Amino acid sequence: MSSGDKLITIAIHTYEKAVILKTLLEREGIETVIHNVNLIQPVISSGVRVRIHERDLPMALRIIESTNSADAEHSHNDTVLIPVDFSDYSLKACALGFDFAYRNRGEVVLLYSYLNAPYSDIMPFDSDEYEATDFVADDSTIEKVSNDKMDKFVALIKQKIAAGQLADVKYSTVITEGIPENAILNYSKEIEPKVIVMGTRGKNKKELIGSVTAEVLDAGKFPVLAVPENMTLNSIADVRNVVFFSNLRQQDMISFDSFTRTLGESPVKVTIIPVIDKKHTDNYNVAIDALLNYCRNRYNRVQFDCVSIDDKDFVSGFDKYAKTNQVDLILIPNKKKNIFARLFNPSVAHKILFLTDTPMLVVPV
């Protein structure tokens, strides 16, 4: 079997959605099969794989992209969700989040969640510990304190908009009770944002694997833009040098298509960095050449290159690379894992989150 005849998974859906996508692709002449169907009760199947020949991937992506664009006109896809904890790095997140909404003619939702006593009413996004506080018996008091904090934050937002430091876009606020990561994920399912923008602490601060931002990007179904406290990027329009982590599979380009829809296909330089062990990869150089050729043919306004990180410690090796190459944005395809996989084998995005001052866009695939 040639490489073009190999079957690849382009999407994983419920049975109903998988059949719809199969019909859509076959209508355009793309041979499609579905796997993992419960033969006794197919309609209750979940995790059904939609598979096509690898040679048909570029055309299939164009079909799916055009379908998504049509659906977006009837959805909340222009909403930018910005979870806040009223810290300085929440303001950093607002800078890019408001800018993104402005460039996409969207609007912003500022989300804050609080916890009832005996826990603190705020958990910083860079922490995995809820701080004990004095017991407050009256829930309405906690809610009032939360509203007061949001009012002060909104007043600061208004000042920055008036001073031209934030884009002038429509925005609203939501305050809810609950664990921050759960509140963010649940509200995201409700409004289906185009992107979630979250602030993180700088690279010299304590690394905490259980942070709210890490949990959201690992478990979420929507793109997450992690904005470090010490970030120097002022606008999405200033992104010129992008690093794209790849497993050297064309399926990774599904996330790149999502990236172009999220930030727009501008004339940028994209450096593909393989996240894979050469020793366990057949035809390593052939795979790199094939991916580069595919990218250059499909995205002719983008300059593509490939760089291997040979350092034994991939994360520290990338940190060295980022320092010397002025990387503006890190793009990472993120395959959703179950809770046990996340605990014992954190994603690359998870590991790098607190080790760089470069914004990171994590796109689920």
* Fold match flag (79-228 vs 240-364): yes
The CATH architecture of the domain made up of 3-72 is 2-Layer Sandwich (3.30)
Q: What pLDDT does residue 261 have?
A: 67
Average confidence (pLDDT) over 159-175 = 94
pLDDT greater at residue 122 or residue 241:
241
pLDDT band for position 157 (50/70/90)?
Answer: very high
Q: What pLDDT does residue 292 have?
A: 86
Question: Residue ranges of the domains in the chain?
Answer: 3-72, 79-228, 240-364
- What is d(CA 44, CA 38) in angstroms, rounded to the nearest whole number? 7
Average confidence (pLDDT) over 72-90 = 77
- For domain 79-228, give the CATH number: 3.40.50.620
Q: What pLDDT does residue 97 have?
A: 94
Tell me the CATH number of domain 240-364, given options 3.40.50.620, 3.40.50.300, 3.60.40.10, 3.40.50.150. Answer: 3.40.50.620
The segment with the largest mean pLDDT, out of 184-193, 225-234, 291-300, is 184-193
Candidate from 153-167, 170-184, 306-320, 333-347 with smallest mean pLDDT: 333-347
| b/e code 122-139 from CB counts within 10 Å (16+ = b) | bbbbbbeeeeeeeeeeee
Average confidence (pLDDT) over 47-66 = 81
Q: What pLDDT does residue 123 have?
A: 47
Average confidence (pLDDT) over 246-266 = 70
Which residues face 314 on adjacent strands? none
pLDDT band for position 350 (50/70/90)?
Answer: low
- What is d(CA 172, CA 155) in angstroms, rounded to the nearest whole number? 13
pLDDT greater at residue 346 or residue 42:
346
Q: What pLDDT does residue 210 have?
A: 42
Q: Report yes or no: 151 and 87 within 8 Å, Cβ to Cβ.
A: no
pLDDT > 60? residue 202 = no
The segment with the largest mean pLDDT, out of 138-147, 246-255, 337-346, is 138-147
| b/e code 236-269 from CB counts within 10 Å (16+ = b) | beebebbbbbbebbbbbbbbbbbbebbbeeeebe
Q: What is the per-residue pLDDT across 88-100, written as a single tens digit (0 to 9) for each?
A: 888 989 999 999 9
**Average of per-residue pLDDT values in the chain:** 77
Share above pLDDT 70 across residues of the chain, in percent, rounded to a whole number? 72
Give 125's DSSP letter.
Answer: T
Residue by residue, DSSP assigns 249-265 as -GGGHHHHHHHHHHH--
Q: What is the per-residue pLDDT across 104-123, written as a single tens digit (0 to 9) for each?
A: 889 999 999 987 654 444 44
Q: Report yes or no: 299 and 265 within 8 Å, Cβ to Cβ.
A: yes
To which H or E segment does residue 48 belong?
strand 48-53
pLDDT > 80? residue 223 = yes
Q: What pLDDT does residue 116 have?
A: 67
Q: Report yes or no: 170 and 107 within 8 Å, Cβ to Cβ.
A: yes
Share above pLDDT 90 across residues of the chain, in percent, rounded to a whole number? 21
To which H or E segment does residue 142 belong?
helix 139-162
